[in-house]
Amino acid sequence: MFTDPKLGVIEGKNSGLPWDWGLTMSTPERAILEAMDELPHHESFHTLDMVFESLTTLRPRLISDLLQACQKIKVKRLFFVFADRHDHPWRKRIDPQAFNLGSGDRALIQGGKIHPRYRIMVPEEFVKPEAEHGA
């Protein structure tokens, strides 16, 4: 999924236990992108929406590096759909135009709506209604 398989991966050891097993883990920044790759077949939009709501402390530099290294257009577009929806402070430091988001529409699910900015089909509640003229 990433051009650099070690980007966003940390090695942990728990020295308080009698065994010396290493544990390879994804950082929160990498983990959310990996989870988005599971949509819609192995993960739900609702679950990821709830997870994304709690991602208030993502590191903009690391997420930018991961998005640059990410080879899946679907994942990058979905990331920005969720990021715009939740509008965490770190979102202001990541410019979608800095990344290759591909071209053309992506049909991810049936019966959804095309997101007007990121051109990927998502559930209707993930697409903000356009403001009425004169409102």
Per-residue pLDDT, 131: 45
Residue 35 and residue 97: Cα distance in Å, rounded? 23
Q: Is the pLDDT at 61 greater than 50, yes or no?
A: yes
Span 90-109, pLDDT tens digits:
999 999 999 999 999 998 89
Enumerate residues 6+ apart whose C-beta is below 8 A from 56. Answer: 88, 89, 90
Residue with tokens 């990021």: 83
Q: Is the pLDDT at 110 greater than 50, yes or no?
A: yes
Name the residue among 82, 69, 70 with its Cα closest to residue 108. 82
What are the φ and ψ backbone dihedral angles of 106, each rounded to 5 degrees? -120, 125
Span 67-93, pLDDT tens digits:
999 999 999 999 999 999 999 999 999
Report if pTM > 0.85. Answer: yes
What are the φ and ψ backbone dihedral angles of 10, each rounded to 5 degrees? -125, 150
Q: Which residues pair with 21 in a beta bridge?
A: none
Residue with tokens 């009698």: 18
What integer best gives the mean pLDDT of the chain? 90
Whether the CB-CB separation of 53 and 37 falls below 8 Å is answered with no
